[in-house]
Amino acid sequence: MSNGKKGASVNPRLRLSAWVDPTIFMNGRRKDITRPDGTVIPNVFIPDVSRGIDSLFKDDALVDRAVVDGKTVIDDISLLRTFRDDNTANLTLDWDSGILGKDHALQKQFYARVIDHCHRKLGTQCLVGITRTELGPVKGVAPMLARWFKSADKAKDKFPDIDTMANQWVKFVEDNLPAYDGISFDLEGVVGQDKELAVTTANASDFYRGFATRLTKAGVQKRGSTGVLAYDHIVAFASGNLIGEVDGPPMKSSRVLKHATKKDAAASNGKIKEGELLRDATGNFISAHPPLKAAFWEKAQDFSLGKGLPNLIVRTMSYDNFRRNDSQQLLDDWHADLVRFFLTMPDVTFQLGIKTIDGPGQLKRGMDGVIGGVAVSDTVRIAALKKRCTNLLNPNKIGLCLFPQSVQFWKDANETLNANVREAGKTVGMPLQSPLDKVAVGALVKK
């Protein structure tokens, strides 16, 4: 799109990331768990903690996927969970007990081992995860973090201000896991009314920018935390999908696009090919139907909050948006429309989030939005992902984040996203999205 050349390779390496479940680094087993009411939770992972960290940690985790022919193919592994707020008005950060329970000593050992494994065996960065995907109200009561985002007066509502909260959270992370490379946020489900949008948007901006500022090289140096190396640490957040105020306000999230007909192609005197996406005089695509309005939290996490902070990465969750019987062309067009909007903000750092599996939405609710389509083989999906990297992401210099871990896709995604710079973690000034300096590269020496 930016240069109009399909499959054209750019020289800078582009960041390839994956949202990864920490259990991939654990030994254990899966079993169905029966609740007291008789309902069953299927396929629950039970970690092997019989001998503590020695039985728990999987020493060969991802070695055959992250490293190909001795070269690292992925730029960072972003853990889906590590820490979590305590859901009190103080919003104090603590360990996420979802996998290892309340054994904080084991949690600290495990996640420190994960980071060291990523650095020393895989040669890739590792972002700790803070995930709250359930920020919507339950029986009319919203979690404290959701209320914080909507609070217009933190003192009156007895909430910490952003400085107090961010300082405590960063200190807790660095006191426990000083070798971390950044924080991956996945905060979902905040709901509200239009009258609450301005305050929520401002708070979301203060939140992400507050963390990103603290995690810059200058911020790290200022704190001088023991064991934390001075380089730009990443703040990445899983966002909704915005395509701009197309066809007039308010902000939109997706739309069906017009393609050139045979008649359009003939009338263009060779400038347009049949099937191509049509554009208006400003270069914008043309809507075939009224666009879908963005949801409250999508709008509140406005992409513009990332301006001027290269270590702050917007990662769109660009999936789960269509019906199962819809054409894959809709997903192709939607991704192109998103990238078109990304390119209007050159001082914001983006990665397109792509889903590679059929989740509950696909299998139970008739949704689509998975690369390659629903109920298809990995071969079909890999081909579709390679096409997306070659024809859309690489030419427009947009990074990629895969969900979930998608380990079988890493090699092919890397080869097509980064045809000219195949190896991650080795070159100062790369990847283009949140580039590494000499200190950051030095932290990734495989042993």
Which residues, including other chains, have CB under 8 Å from residue 314's CB and lie 6 or more apart? 236, 237, 239, 303, 306, 348, 349, 350, 351
Identify the bridge partners of residue 259 per DSSP, sorted by sequence position: 277
Q: d(Cα 255, Cα 232) in Å, to the nearest integer?
A: 36
Number of Cβ within 10 Å of residue 213's Cβ equals 15
Domains of the chain: 16-255+290-442 (3.20.20.80)
| List of residues 6+ apart from 225 with CB closer than 8 A | 171, 174, 175, 178
Q: For residue 3, which of 294, 343, 277 has the smallest C-alpha distance?
A: 343
Pairing of strands 93-95, 83-85: antiparallel
The secondary structure of 138-174 as a DSSP string is: BTTB--HHHHHHH-S-TTTTT---HHHHHHHHHHHHH
Q: What global pTM score does this model have?
A: 0.96
Residue-level pLDDT, tens digit, the chain, 447 residues: 443 344 445 579 999 999 999 999 999 999 999 999 989 888 899 999 999 999 999 999 999 999 999 999 999 999 999 999 999 999 999 999 999 999 999 999 999 999 999 999 999 999 999 999 999 999 999 999 999 999 999 999 999 999 999 999 999 999 999 999 999 999 999 999 999 999 999 999 999 999 999 999 999 999 999 999 999 999 999 999 999 999 999 999 999 999 999 999 999 999 999 999 999 999 999 999 999 999 999 999 999 999 999 999 999 999 999 999 899 999 999 999 999 999 999 999 999 999 999 998 998 999 999 999 999 999 999 999 999 999 999 999 999 999 999 999 999 999 999 999 999 999 999 999 999 999 999 999 887
CA angle, 352 as apex, 412 and 125 as ends, to 5°? Answer: 65
Residue at 301: amino acid letter:
Q
